[in-house]
């Protein structure tokens, strides 16, 4: 399973040591049958981070997800 996720890893061109994964590429390998169900899990994770009062600057979400947070909430 790890090699499957390694194959989905992305890298920033100017930061090759930083890996990230796109949610759209992960929902099926993680066993979700619908994108909407995975999106619900992402929203719950974001809410959990807010609940425990971790400043957003300390949470390592890629820029695309940071921009999308205004859409989710």
Domain boundaries, the chain: 2-72
Reported as a single tens digit per residue, the pLDDT across 18-36 is 888 888 888 888 889 998 8
Q: What is the mean pLDDT of the chain?
A: 75
Alpha-helical segments (H) within the chain:
2-8, 23-26, 35-51, 63-72
Q: What percent of the chain has pLDDT over 90?
A: 4
Rounded CA separation 46/30 (Å): 18
Q: How far apart are CA 8 and CA 29, in angstroms?
A: 10
Q: What is the DSSP letter of 19?
A: E
What pTM does this model have?
Answer: 0.53
Sort residue 50 into left (φ over 0), alpha (ψ -120 to 50) or beta. alpha
């Amino acid at each position: 399973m790890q090699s499957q996720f390694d194959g989905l890893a992305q890298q920033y061109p100017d930061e090759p040591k930083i890996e990230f994964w796109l949610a759209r590429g992960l929902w099926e390998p993680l066993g979700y049958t619908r994108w909407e169900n995975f999106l619900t899990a992402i929203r719950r994770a974001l809410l959990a981070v807010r609940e425990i009062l971790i400043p957003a600057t300390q949470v390592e979400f890629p820029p695309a997800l940071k921009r999308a947070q205004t859409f989710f909430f």
